Chains A and B, each alone.
Chain A
Amino acid sequence: MLMAAACQFAMAQDVVLVVSRKCSVSSLTQEQVADIFLGKTSTFPNGASVIPIDQQEGTGEREAFYHHFIGKTEAQVRTYWSKIVFTGKGYPPIEVVPPERVKRVIRDNPNYIGYIKRRDVDASVKVVVVLHP
């Protein structure tokens, strides 16, 4: 049932989380996703190191992702990173421009995790199922 709910959740969104096919991770909780993208953890649950990939500010994918998966607006995200970066406690995810490159970057590195438009998903990447809590 949970799977169904998660799938439903995933399917409702425009963007999906993707990782390399070489990556063993296939599902993450929303919390884990948030931890990764907010710099709170640098590893996957299985211990492998993870590097989150952001799209450029202003892109719809970014806005949708942060809205749906992190639950923050851009301004809130900026404020969050402002303190962390200022105090030297962390670094935001790498920006990859343009959106098409994201897939390519992720495909090659099993440590990357990023988000693309659902319709852009192809066999080169694997969709990560996000479990809604």
Chain B
Amino acid sequence: MRHASSIHKLASRAQEPYVLFPAFAVLLLIVIWVGCLYVIRVEQAAAEKKASDSAIDLVETYEAQMIRNLGRIDQALGTVKYAYETSHSPGTLTILKERRLLPPSILFTIAIYDQHGNPVGGTSAAPLAPISGQPYFRNHLAADVPGPTVQRVNLADGKIKLLFSRRLNGENGKFLGVAQISVDPAYFTSGYEMARLGKRGVLGLLDKDGIFLVRQTGDTVSVGGHAHPPSEASRLEKTSIVLETHEWDGEQRYAGVRPLFGFPLSVLVGLSKTEQFDEFHASERAYFYWAMLASFILVAMAAILSRYAWQLSETRRRTRKDQETFYAASEASMDAMFVLRSVFDGGGHIVDFTLESANNRAAGLFRIPKEAIIGRKVGDMLPQVHENGIFKDLVDVSTTGEAREHEWKNDLPMLRAAWLHRQVVAVEDGVIVILRDISERKRAEARIVHMAHHDALTGLPNRSLLEDRIQQAILVSQRSGQSVMVAFMDLDNFKFINDCLGHAAGDELLKAVAKRIQKNLRQTDTIVRLGGDEFVIVLSSQQEHSDALAATFSKIRAAISEPLFLAENKIEVTASMGVAVYPNDGMDSGTLLMHADAAMYQAKALGRNNCQFFTPEINGRIREKMALQDGLRVALGREEFTLMYQPQVDIRLGRIVGVEALIRWRHPLRGMVSSHDFIALAEETGLIGPIGEWVLHTACRQNKAWQDAGLPAITIAVNVSPRQFKDNSLLAHVERALKETGLEARHLCIEVTESMLMQNPARAIATMEALQAMGVTLSIDDFGTGYSNLSALKSFPISTLKIDQSFIGGLPSSEDDCAIAKTIIALGRQMNMRILAEGIETTGQLAFLRENGCNEGQGFLLCPPSPPRRLRTC
């Protein structure tokens, strides 16, 4: 399969112009060169043939000329012979010459000699020498040959002549003498035409032995040289041309020889191959040159065209790739993409748009197949675009070129979406519109806004809407001249419930409370959950009568305090509420909230489960509290705290067995502030930590100081607050205090309240065991006031039980108190704990306790809390 496809790919690649051009060029190149070589071949053959044909032509022409000339010579000789034999007159030649029967004297010298070889007469002016010694004379003398004889003679003056002679006969054939015609041998080659024979051709006359009687090449006439004489038989045959090298000058020639009829002579004509082929060679060179030029041009053109074609192909490929990429991108896009082409009227204005293409998502928006919308006009499909400004938008983008985007609530019935976002971008001749269905986003946004403004758990508006609602209520009430009530509500002991029953139960409680309150509110009222267990209720358009107001809130409180059933637990919640009224207690939401909050604090301070209306005094009280808090913060640094020590006495022996350290605060303005007031505040603010640490330190140091001063060693008892007890760093503080002061651990006792232990027994045990491990002793303070789990009590590592002073106060008159006291004492004795009675103020109490086995006690009767100096005396 792969083979086929790769072949297919190759084939299609091969059909590309940039492959075809070079291929075609190569083909043409081959054609050109093959053609060139072929033509050259042909021309060469033609040149050869031409040379050959020319040679034939020239040989035959020369043959004819020679024949004619020789004939004339022969004729003339014959005439002379006849005339002289007839007349025996020495003036024969003169007469013949006058009669124009002789060849021109300028060329031919004609002479007659007698039988002795002496000249009889001649046509030239020059004197004639006897020829008796000449071989030809002797030959003629010897024999009478029929035709003329030819020979070469060298004259006395060095000139060479060709001599034609005949024997003259008298009566009875008696030798009468010789008649001769002599001519310059060059005469016979004077027909040499450079134009036809060239400079290196040859024209020659051969004797019967093949020796040149005369030979001309170019301008040079020479004698001698050998050529192969033709056979007699060849006279009647076609001339044959032979390419041969001539030995007399080494030239290669196309040569032909022909024998001359009637004479022992032959003619030879040769054409120099080099010369004949000059033209051919020039032509050959020209062909090569043109072929090379053509090749070069072809290659160059092919290269250029091929390159263009390749570029074009690349561009096409890139364009196709871009298109594919765009198509893929647009199909993959989450948005609907439309390509619109402008439709112009006659005046060049855009009147409509044609939908040229759309991606699948676009068709999805329309809920009809792509094919149904492609090619249609926008104005036809969505006529509303002209009214809602969309069409104008499209036209503007198309003309100005600047992109635009817009979100709008969909008003085009053809498109199925609630909210749409469009982006319009200009392209050539139109626009691209990208549509996104943002309905979901809009819904999510609305949800988020809602979530931002509403509490997740209860669905009530949250803090962020609070101010707004109050403002709105104020505005409404302004108009109607009525009041607005802002109430801060805090669920009492919500924390306790959350801790006891778990957070899920706590959430259910909040939801239930919210619902109950809402039931009691009107449309114009608002309830806001601030967080935790805090709510704010805004009641608008209220009458000013405080009765009516109070009634409203009572209703609400009643609704809240109705028992709830959570996971089979019956819960009763109460709330502390603080109310501020517009316009009396504030003109703006900030003031109203602040005052309502203050009122709520007051409500809490007053014991919870009540509703307080804001009064200016509350403010004062709050302010005071704030001031106290501020004072407390700096009190430690200013050393405003002191410790008082109340001795714990063995009431039988009347001996001090320990002291309890009690903190006092000397406020710069208020004077002594009792621990009851500021300890709670310290707990609230968390200042209890450093204060507690200071107390530990100071107490340990004091005890050590007493020991160092030589006083008998006693235990010092330090109270810890619930917060301290829960804190992980309590152990570290104790350890550090002991280490730094040097007090032995057994001389330190930590007092915890019953309720502290019961909150988290397991944890309490762990802490107490750790303290015990250090060597510190522990006692339970205010025993009897909390909800003790007696079995848990077993496991607390306690050394002392301190009976709360509320039980001591009633002794010995109150029977219940007596019973309780006795019980506690018995319990303690049974469990091997020391019992200490708190707050002994009368002797009767003291006596009772003593009688019933309570060994220790502390109180004003015995010794009030005192500064360290005073104790020495005690």
Residues of A within 8 A of B (CB): 54, 56-59, 77-79, 81-83, 85-88, 91-92, 94-95, 97
Residue B106, interface by CB 8 Å: yes
In the complex, chain B residues whose CB is within 8 Å of the CB of A56? 105, 125
Collect the chain A residues with CB atoms within 8 Å of residue B107's CB.
Answer: 78, 81-82, 85, 92
Q: A86 to B190, Cβ gap below 8 A?
A: yes
Interface residue from A59, A79, A83, A92 paired with B104 (Cβ < 8 Å) = A92
A82 touches B68 (CB 8 A): no
* Interface presence of B126 (CB below 8 A): yes
Known interface pairs A81-B107, A86-B69. Does A94 touch B100 (Cβ–Cβ under 8 Å)?
A: yes
- The smallest C-beta distance from A79 to any residue of chain B, in angstroms, reads 7
A-B contact pairs, 20 of them (CB 8 A): A54-B106, A57-B105, A78-B184, A79-B190, A81-B107, A82-B187, A83-B190, A83-B191, A85-B104, A85-B107, A86-B65, A86-B187, A86-B191, A88-B68, A91-B104, A92-B104, A92-B107, A94-B100, A95-B104, A95-B105
* B94 CB contacts on chain A under 8 angstroms: 97
1/0 contact trace for B66-89 toward A, CB 8 Å?
001100000000000000000000
Please report the C-alpha to C-alpha distance between residue A64 and residue B65 in the assembled complex, in whole angstroms. Answer: 33
Distance of A132 Cα from B563 Cα, bound (Å): 165
Contact partner, A86, options B106, B125, B188, Cβ 8 Å: B188
Please indicate which of the listed interface residues A57, A79, A86 has the most CB atoms of chain B within 10 Å of its own CB. Answer: A86
A95 to B103, CA, bound (A): 11
A35 to B97, CA, bound (A): 24
For A54, what are the chain B residues with a Cβ–Cβ distance below 8 Å? 106
Q: How far is the CB of B57 from chain A (nearest CB, A)?
A: 14
A54–B107 CA distance with the chains assembled, in angstroms: 14
Nearest Cβ in chain A — how far from B861, in angstroms? 184
Whole-angstrom distance between the alpha carbons of A57 and B104 in the complex? 11
Most buried by B among A78, A82, A92: A82
B514 at interface by CB-CB < 8 Å: no
Which residues on the B side are within 8 Å of A59 (C-beta)? 125
Q: B190 contacts A58, CB within 8 Å? A: no
8 closest cross-chain pairs (CB), A and B: A82-B190, A83-B190, A92-B104, A58-B125, A87-B191, A86-B190, A86-B191, A82-B187
Whole-angstrom distance between the Cβ of B103 and the nearest chain A Cβ: 8
* In the complex, chain A residues whose CB is within 8 Å of the CB of B97: 95
Of the candidates B65, B100, B106, B186, the one whose C-beta lies within 8 Å of that of A57 is B106
Residues from 33 to 68 in B contacting A, C-beta threshold 8 Å: 65, 68
Bin the interface of chain B by size.
20 to 34
Q: For residue B186, which residues in chain A have a CB less than 8 angstroms away from its CB?
A: 82
Q: State whether B191 touches A81 (Cβ < 8 A).
A: no
CB neighbors of A among B165-196 (8 A): 184, 186-188, 190-191
Within 8 Å of chain A (Cβ to Cβ): is B124?
Answer: yes
Contact yes or no, B65 A87, CB < 8 A: yes
Residue of B nearest to A56 (CB): B125
Residues of A within 8 A of B188 (CB): 86
B65 touches A77 (CB 8 A): no
- Tell me the residues in window 95-152 of chain B with beta carbons closer than 8 Å to chain A beta carbons: 97, 100, 103-107, 124-126
Q: How far is the CA of A115 from the CA of B836 in the complex (A)?
A: 195
CA gap between A10 and B791 in the complex, in Å: 183
Mark out the residues of chain B between 303 and 341 whose CB falls within 8 Å of any chain A CB in the assembled complex. none
- Shortest distance in angstroms between A14's beta carbon and chain B's nearest beta carbon? 19
Contact A57 B124 (CB under 8 A): yes
The reply to whether B69 and A81 form a contact with Cβ atoms under 8 Å apart is: no
Distance in angstroms between the alpha carbons of A56 and B126 in the assembled complex: 11
In the assembly, what is the distance between CA of A94 and CA of B104, in Å?
A: 8
Chain B residues near A58 (CB-CB < 8 A): 125-126
Q: How far is the CA of A86 from the CA of B106 in the complex (A)?
A: 12
| A81-B126 in contact (CB<8A) | no
Asked if residues B125 and A81 are in contact (CB atoms below 8 Å), the reply is no
Q: Determine which of B68, B69, B106 lies in contact with A77 in the assembled complex, contact meaning CB atoms within 8 Å.
A: B106
Determine the chain A residues whose CB is within 8 A of the CB of B104 once the complex forms: 81, 85, 91-92, 95
Cα distance, A54 to B97, chains bound together (Å): 13
Which one of B65, B100, B106, B184 has the greatest number of beta carbons of chain A within 10 Å? B106
* A75 → B minimal CB distance (Å): 10
How distant is the Cα of A99 from the Cα of B770 in the complex, in angstroms?
Answer: 181
Contact partners of A77 in chain B: CB under 8 A: 106
Instruction: Provide the residues of chain A in CB contact with B69, threshold 8 Å.
Output: 86, 88
Residues of B within 8 A of A86 (CB): 65, 69, 187-188, 190-191
Instruction: Give the Cβ gap from A126 to chain B, nearest Cβ, in Å.
Output: 24
Contacts of B125 in A (CB 8 A): 56-59
CB distance from A91 to the nearest CB of B (A): 7
Contacts beyond the supplied A83-B190, A85-B107, A86-B191: 7 A-B pairs with Cβ under 8 Å: A54-B106, A57-B125, A78-B184, A79-B190, A85-B104, A87-B65, A95-B105
Which of B65, B105, B184 has the most CB atoms of chain A within a 10 A radius of its CB? B105
What is the bound-complex CA distance between A85 and B184, given in angstroms?
13
Query: Whole-angstrom distance from the CB of B75 to the nearest CB of chain A?
Result: 14
CA distance A91 to B191 in the complex (A): 15
- Expressed in whole angstroms, the minimum distance between the Cβ of A83 and any Cβ of chain B is 4
Report the Cα distance A31→B69, complex, angstroms: 30
In Å, the complex CA distance between A82 and B186 comes to 8
Question: Shortest beta-carbon distance, B369 to chain A, in Å?
Answer: 103
Residue of A nearest to B124 (CB): A57
Q: Enumerate chain B residues within 8 angstroms of A94, measured Cβ to Cβ.
A: 100
CB distance from A42 to the nearest CB of B (A): 15
Give Cα distance in the complex from A77 to B69, angstroms: 19
Q: How far is the CA of A54 from the CA of B123 in the complex (A)?
A: 14
CA distance A57 to B94 in the complex (A): 15
Nearest chain A CB to B217's CB is how many angstroms away?
16
A85 CA to B102 CA, complexed, in Å: 13
**Which among B69, B103, B126, B191 has the highest number of chain A CB atoms within 10 Å?**
B191
Chain B nearest CB from A94 CB (Å) reads 7
B residues near A88, Cβ cutoff 8 Å: 65, 68-69
A103–B103 CA distance with the chains assembled, in angstroms: 24
Q: How far apart sit A58 and B109, CA to CA, in the bound complex (Å)?
A: 14
A86 and B191 alpha carbons, distance in the complex (Å):
6
B122 to chain A minimum Cβ distance, whole angstroms, is 12
Interface centre among B97, B103, B107 (most CB of A within 10 A): B107
A78 x B106 contact (CB < 8 A): yes
Query: How far does the Cβ of B102 sit from chain A's closest Cβ, in whole Å?
Result: 10
Which B residues touch A92, using CB under 8 A? Answer: 104, 106-107
Q: CA–CA, A77 to B68, complex, Å?
A: 22
A-side contacts of B184, CB under 8 Å: 78, 82
Measured in the bound complex, the distance between the Cα atoms of B470 and A35 in whole Å is 145
Rounded to whole angstroms, the CA-CA distance of A32 and B184 in the bound complex is 30
B187 contacts across to A, CB distance below 8 A: 82, 85-86
Q: Report the minimum CB–CB distance from B801 to chain A (whole Å).
A: 174
What separation, in Å, do the CA atoms of A27 and B21 have in the docked complex?
77
In the bound assembly, the distance between CA atoms of A36 and B186 in angstroms comes to: 25
Q: Which residue of A lies closest to B109 (CB)?
A: A57
Instruction: For residue B734, give the distance in angstroms from its CB to the closest CB of chain A.
Output: 158
A81–B104 Cα gap in the complex (Å)? 9
Q: B109 CB to closest chain A CB, in angstroms?
A: 10
Q: Which residue of B lies closest to A89 (CB)?
A: B191
The complex places the Cα of A92 from the Cα of B184 at a distance, in Å, of 16
The digit string for B813-826, where 1 denotes a CB below 8 A from any CB of A, is: 00000000000000
- A88 and B124 CA atoms in complex are apart in Å by 22
Whole-angstrom CA separation of A90 from B497 in the bound complex: 160
Q: How far is the CB of A43 from chain B (nearest CB, A)?
A: 20
Smallest Cβ-Cβ distance to B103: which chain A residue = A85
A87 to B189, alpha carbons, bound, how many Å?
Answer: 10
